[in-house]
Amino acid sequence: MKDKKSLNLGVKILIGLVAGIVVGAIFWAVMGAEAAGAFTAKYIKPFGDIFVNLLKFIVVPLVLLSIMDGVISMGDIHKVGKIGWKTVAYFLVTTAIACVIGLVVANLFKGAFPVLELAEDAAYEAKSSNLMDTLVNIFPNNAIAPLSNASMLQIIVIALFFGCGVLVAGEKGKPFGDIVTSFNEVTQRVMSFILAVSPFGVFALMVWVVAAQGPKILGSLGLVLLAAYIGYILHVVLVYSLSVKVFAKMSPMKFFKGIFPAAAFAFTSTSSVATLPITQECCDDMDVHHEISAFVLPLGATINMDGTAIYQCVAAIFLAKCIGIDLTLTQMIVIVVTATLASIGTAGTSGAGMIMLAMVLDAVGIPPTYIGIIYGIDRLFDMGRTTLNIIGDASCAVCVNAWEADNGGKKAA
Could you list the residues that contact ligand ASP (CB under 6 A)? 270-272, 305, 308, 346, 348-353, 382, 385-386, 389
| CB closer to ligand ASP out of 374 and 402 | 374
| CB closer to ligand ASP out of 146 and 353 | 353
| CB closer to ligand ASP out of 97 and 315 | 315
Cβ 281 to ligand ASP, closest distance in Å?
Answer: 18
Cβ 348 to ligand ASP, closest distance in Å?
Answer: 4
Cβ 290 to ligand ASP, closest distance in Å?
Answer: 23
**Virtual torsion, Cα 394, 399, 400, 404, nearest 10 deg:** 140
Dist CA 125 CA 123 (whole Å): 7
Dist CA 282 CA 293 (whole Å): 10
Cβ 196 to ligand ASP, closest distance in Å?
Answer: 22
Q: Which residues contact 248 (CB under 8 A, 6 or more apart)?
A: 255, 398, 399, 401, 402
Residue 375 in contact with residue 124, Cβ under 8 Å?
A: yes
Residue nearest to ligand ASP (CB): 353
Cβ 350 to ligand ASP, closest distance in Å?
Answer: 5
Dist CA 277 CA 72 (whole Å): 19
Q: What share of the chain is helix, strand, coil (3-state, %, to 5)?
A: 85, 0, 15
Residue 70 in contact with residue 253, Cβ under 8 Å?
A: no
| CB closer to ligand ASP out of 167 and 305 | 305
Q: Which residues contact 346 (CB under 8 A, 6 or more apart)?
A: 305, 308, 352, 353, 355, 356
| CB closer to ligand ASP out of 27 and 90 | 90
Cβ 352 to ligand ASP, closest distance in Å?
Answer: 4
| CB closer to ligand ASP out of 270 and 395 | 270
Residue 317 in contact with residue 104, Cβ under 8 Å?
A: no
